[in-house]
Amino acid sequence: MINLELNEEYLELKQTVREFAVEVVAPVSAKHDAEHSFPYGVMAQMGEMGLFGLPFDEEYGGMGGDYFALALAIEELARVDQSVAITLEAGVSLGAMPIHRFGTQAQKERWLPALCAGTELAGFGLTETGAGSDAGGTATTATLRDGNWVLNGSKEFITNSGTEISTLVTATAVTGTKTRADGSTAKEISTILVPRDTPGYTVEKAYDKVGWRASDTHPLRFEDATVPEENLLGERGRGYANFLSILDEGRIAIAALGTGAAQGCLDEATAYAKTRVTFGKAIGENQGISFKLARMAARVHASRLAYYAAAAKMLAGKDFKTEAAIAKLVAGEAAMDNARDATQIFGGYGFMNETLVARHYRDSKILEIGEGTTEVQLLLIARSLGL
């Protein structure tokens, strides 16, 4: 028989993060959401708990855990606050993980300790106005001059790029051209580490977002931003391919976030349905409401199993690209569907921003867009079928 039960170590982590989410994160979530303020105090405590270092080696200040442990922590945080959950997800899987996966020993020793401690954050500079899913649209350039990379261009929607503890961004840039097997040419895309204090690197005004309002997101601009040649991350010309592998992993983490959000909506709606009385009985006694809650529970169960399965294949060293796409697709839709149903169950109160279900309703839509749209996931799954 297949055993899907978590071992004692995972269960302990899950319980610890759940208690932290309820006792520390939840009480300040509405305030930070309303103020669009970054929760520095919460982040500091998460750093002290070791959450930012969960999947990294102890020699760099990490906890020596694995990616599934990170996913479990993200799920528990997302139940009460998606902004906090995405800050952890982006800080680890998008910010620090590229350095851990592809960095030189010197780069790891320079950047990972602070990133693992949560005292610094890194950004993942991929998306541009004309490039995201389409790498061919990358317009940012990095030219090698006198032993330095000189970057020019801009990036959009970069998480963790403008806080007081944001320290660098890993940016994709065109570093030349390459010849394909058929003789045609294509852009050579590499990745460059750009520290926050680099002259010519500007963090633009934060976006006014519909959701994830306590998460930090900015556009970036490079104007002759110059960094040493050794700031190349990984092999030259492999930047986009390396980022795609990072995104495959990140989809498991985003699926965990979506699962947590879907669970949070179910928790809130179930509790409300048991206490809200109309026509002399709790609304949960009405079949229309109880069936809606049953469907919400089914979505949570399916999305959790999907990301567990993807993580299991990843940790086993097997190809998990398709499973990660399925998990991201299922969990993102579960979060959005559960947020809609929870808001409906709450009625007018569900339309008030101070309620958790209202925040989940605003927050969850991005789960069908960020780190690969629903359409991209469908494309990946279809390709796995030979279509």
Tell me: pLDDT of 136 over 90. Answer: no
Whether 109 is a known active-site residue: answer no
* Domain-embedded: residue 1: no
Domain count for the chain: 3
| Residue 178 binned pLDDT confidence (cut-offs 50, 70, 90) | confident
Q: What is the chain's percent helix, strand, coil content, to nearest 5?
A: 55, 20, 25
Which tens digits make up the pLDDT trace of 17-30? 999 999 999 999 99
| Residue 114 binned pLDDT confidence (cut-offs 50, 70, 90) | very high
Q: Which helix (H) or strand (E) holds 245?
A: helix 239-275
- What region does 261 belong to: left with phi over 0, alpha with psi -120 to 50, or beta? alpha
| Residue 1 binned pLDDT confidence (cut-offs 50, 70, 90) | low
* Domain-embedded: residue 3: no
Would you give the DSSP letter of residue 131? Answer: B
Burial of 102 (0-12, 13-18, 19+ CB in 10 A): buried
Residue, of 137 and 271, whose pLDDT is higher? 271
Residue 138 belongs to domain with CATH number:
2.40.110.10
Domain boundary among 198, 217, 238: 238
| Paired strand residues for 178 | 186
* Mean pLDDT for the chain overall: 96
- The whole-model pTM stands at 0.96
Residue 288 belongs to domain with CATH number:
1.20.140.10
The answer to whether 161 and 123 have CB atoms below 8 angstroms apart is yes
Catalytic residue among 109, 230, 371, 375: 371
| Residue 85 binned pLDDT confidence (cut-offs 50, 70, 90) | very high
Residues 6 or more apart whose CB falls under 8 angstroms from that of 243 comprise 98, 124, 126, 172, 191
Mean predicted confidence (pLDDT) in 230-241: 95
The answer to whether 349 and 102 have CB atoms below 8 angstroms apart is no
| Paired strand residues for 226 | 150
**Token representation of residue 229:** 């040649």
Mean predicted confidence (pLDDT) in 359-380: 96
Phi then psi for residue 195, to 5 deg, are: -65, 155
Residues 26 and 100 placed together within one structural domain of the fold = yes
- Expressed as residue numbers, the domain containing 288 is 241-384
As a whole number of angstroms, the distance between CA 252 and CA 234 comes to 23
**Three-state SS across 89-111?**
HHHHHHHHHHHHHHCCHHHHHHH
Burial of 35 (0-12, 13-18, 19+ CB in 10 A): exposed
Residues 134 and 161 placed together within one structural domain of the fold = yes
Q: In 103-202, where does DSSP find H-type helix?
A: 105-117
Q: Could you tell me where the beta strands, DSSP code E, fall in the chain?
A: 121-125, 141-145, 148-159, 166-179, 185-195, 201-203, 217-228, 232-233, 277-278, 281-282
Domain boundary among 59, 94, 121: 121
Domain boundary among 121, 144, 164: 121
Residues 81 and 157 placed together within one structural domain of the fold = no
Residues 158 and 223 placed together within one structural domain of the fold = yes
Which tens digits make up the pLDDT trace of 260-312? 999 999 999 999 999 999 999 999 999 999 999 999 999 999 999 999 999 99
Which tens digits make up the pLDDT trace of 328-341? 999 999 999 999 99
Query: Any idea which residue has 């000189």 for tokens?
Result: 150
* Domain-embedded: residue 157: yes
Residues 148 and 221 placed together within one structural domain of the fold = yes
Question: Regarding beta strands 166-179 and 121-125, do their DSSP bridges make them parallel or antiparallel, or are they unpaired?
Answer: parallel
Residues 246 and 373 placed together within one structural domain of the fold = yes
Residues 265 and 339 placed together within one structural domain of the fold = yes
Query: Quick one: angle between helices 321-346 and 287-315, nearest 10?
Result: 160
Residue 93 belongs to domain with CATH number:
1.10.540.10
Burial of 7 (0-12, 13-18, 19+ CB in 10 A): exposed
* Domain-embedded: residue 297: yes
